[in-house]
Amino acid sequence: MNSTHRPGPNRRTVLRGAVVASGSAVLGGTFATVGAASASAEVVEPSLYTRADWRARPPAGRVQILATPPRYVLVHHTATANSTDHSLEHALALSRAIQRFHMDNNGWLDTGQQLTISRGGHVMEGRDRSLAAVREGSHVLGAHVANNNSTCIGIENEGTYMEEGPTAALSESLVATLAWLCTAYKLDPHRAILGHRDFNATACPGDVLYAMLPELRDAVAEVMRARVVDLAARRVPDGEGPTRPPVPEHEPDHAFYHGPARGPDDLTR
């Protein structure tokens, strides 16, 4: 699974487009807010679909809400086919399929991740109460990164990105979503945005998407600077952070598996 293929030459163009789509325009080499009421406007919440929109099942138990906000935003891929169906109907069905797999196959109380982005760029709420928690600055305890669920909020990106990159629509939505989360939780994107493989032995989020993370961090920082958001509001204490384990040569090859999601130190399911 560990391909050495890297994104094509248009990757930077896609991410620059994502910055513009997120509410910033390039003016003389700097970024200015588009349509903002004032220079201090906050990064806006992206347009997203709630659990009611995709007709989620009720959770099998009460989700845990932590008062302490997450320190990291984790990027995942769903390890599913790179679908060419970019419709909203497909995106909503994807959320139902993920929930069904997590609850019925894994025995979890609900969807493991807090947010999902389809290849059509549709952003969807995942685990119960995730949207409300972000809005209030708390953290829904998910199941997406073994032994680190209490410190990480997770975004599932539809597809498998070992040999190719995400669509432009997904990339644009990912930048907007990352900027929103880093603003809501007062996180520095250059420290906070990481991949699943930074914490667990897994190929997730794929070689190509993982290689895009530095540019994604830069794009998110540009959006946040355009909205005059303090990037240094919260810092990770020295000595804390991901372990960056080696990526295994082989992993179970089936849909929705992208590496360890729960461990002995996790209280969630």
Region class of 210: left (phi > 0), else alpha (psi between -120 and 50), else beta: alpha
Cα distance between residue 255 and residue 269, in whole Å:
19
Enter the tokens of residue 267. 């209280």
What pLDDT is attached to residue 243? 65
Tokens 């200015």 correspond to 32
User: pTM here?
Assistant: 0.80
What pLDDT is attached to residue 232? 57
- The class that CATH gives domain 11-34+45-226 is alpha beta
Please report the DSSP string for 203-260 in residue order. Answer: -TT-HHHHHTHHHHHHHHHHHHHHTT--TTSS-PPTT-S---PPPPS----STT--S-
257 pLDDT band (50/70/90 cuts)? low
179: pLDDT strictly greater than 80: yes
Minimal CA–CA distance to 48: which of 103, 101, 88? 88
Strand pairing class (115-117; 123-125): antiparallel
pLDDT tens digits, residue range 117-175?
999 999 999 999 999 999 999 999 999 998 899 999 999 999 999 999 999 999 999 99
Q: What is the mean pLDDT of the chain?
A: 82
pLDDT tens digits, residue range 110-132?
999 999 999 999 999 999 999 99
Average the pLDDT over 224-229 and give the result.
Answer: 78
The Cβ of residue 263 has, within 10 Å, a number of other Cβ atoms equal to 13
Region class of 84: left (phi > 0), else alpha (psi between -120 and 50), else beta: alpha
The Cβ of residue 90 has, within 10 Å, a number of other Cβ atoms equal to 16
What pLDDT is attached to residue 238? 58
